[in-house]
């Protein structure tokens, strides 16, 4: 997996359409969001991204979150 700029995070979704919807939502909040397949890379802070995604498409569609330091945050090593 590619490294990405320090101030970003990658959010993986169960489907590409969920990723598209999330990218659109984050952009509506004024943050950058780039979607590739089922992943979205954004500069939106986690504490703002999570509630925005939850309200719009639901957190159950999130498979994992990876922060710029490369540490997975989805419960897997």
What is the 3-state secondary structure of 17-61?
HHHHHHHHHHHHCCCCEEEECCEEEECCCHHHHHHHHHHHCCHHH
Is the pTM value of this prediction over 0.75? Answer: yes
Structural domain count, the chain: 1
Q: 17 is in which domain, residue-wise?
A: 9-67
Residue 73 falls inside a structural domain: no
Residue 3, in any domain of the structure: no
In a domain, 22, yes or no: yes
| 16 part of a folded domain | yes
Give the residue-averaged pLDDT of 6-34: 94
Give domain status of residue 28, yes or no.
yes
64-76 pLDDT, tens digit per residue, is: 999 885 445 555 4
């Amino acid at each position: 997996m590619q490294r990405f700029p320090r101030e970003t995070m990658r959010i993986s979704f169960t489907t590409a359409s969920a990723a598209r919807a999330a990218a659109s939502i984050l952009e509506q909040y004024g943050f950058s969001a780039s979607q590739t397949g089922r992943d979205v890379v954004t500069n939106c802070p986690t504490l703002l991204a999570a509630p925005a995604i939850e309200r719009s498409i639901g957190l159950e569609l999130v498979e994992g979150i990876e922060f710029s330091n490369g540490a997975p945050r989805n419960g897997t090593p």
